[in-house]
Amino acid sequence: MQNKFSLKYYTAANSPLGVSGGHGSIKLSMDELNRKTVEEFKHSDKTPVIAVLENIRSAYNVGSVFRTADAFLLEAIYITGYTCVPPHKEIKKTALGAEESVDWKHFANATEAIITLKENGYKVYAIEQAVNSLMLQKIEFKVDEKIAVIFGNEVTGVEQDTILQCDGCIEIPQLGMKHSLNIATAAGVVLWEIVRSRIS
């Protein structure tokens, strides 16, 4: 039996609504997204921001952070402790190839990562609810400032010993009951807030 519903897909170029899309918008095709190849990504000027993952138990969360890091052209991801590292099937499932494009390094613990970061001129912040934390929406970083942000374990957060080695804590304002976000969600919120002022 022939399908009586004929589907036609449009690109921005051949949309019957015109380029502006009228009151709506037309999704861009894969060709129109101008996606970088892995090689192009590797040779692109990076955003001087590094995400540090401390003892993340879910490989799916790790993969999600890789995908976010790719979206924002981050310098790298530093993986510490027992956090899973690529290649890993669960990282691959959520990273969707970003584990191939984003540079990463593994450190035995967060202390080793922090030492390396500070030697290379990065300011290091723990993403945590803490006394005297800086509220995310009030922070203003310079465009070329080197920033590293540490995301902690899904249950225990960033270790206290790690916090004491940081330049400060950044807190995401939360208005509801839980006052808790999944690490992959928190990474998306924080990294976008840091990166958005650097996009021209």
Hey, what CATH topology would domain 37-196 get? Alpha/beta knot (3.40.1280)
Q: What is the pLDDT of residues 134-159, one digit of tens each?
A: 999 999 999 899 999 999 999 999 99
pLDDT of 35-93, one tens digit each? 888 888 787 888 999 999 999 999 999 999 999 999 999 999 999 999 999 999 999 99
**If residue 68 lies in a helix (H) or strand (E), which one and from where to where?**
helix 59-71
| Closest listed residue to residue 184, CA positions, set 71, 10, 65 | 65
Amino acid 23: pLDDT: 59
In contact, 148 and 49? CB cutoff 8 Å: yes
pLDDT at 30: 78
For residue 25, the model assigns a pLDDT of 82
Domain ranges of the chain: 7-35, 37-196
Lowest mean pLDDT among 20-24, 95-99, 128-132, 179-183: 20-24
Whole-number pLDDT of residue 22: 54
Spatial CA neighbour of 170 closest among 133, 122, 123? 133
Choose among 106, 120, 115: nearest CA to 166.
115
Q: How confident is the model at residue 28 (pLDDT cuts 50, 70, 90)?
A: confident
Q: What pTM does this model have?
A: 0.86
- pLDDT for 181 equals 95
- 149: nearest Cα among 165, 166, 172: 166
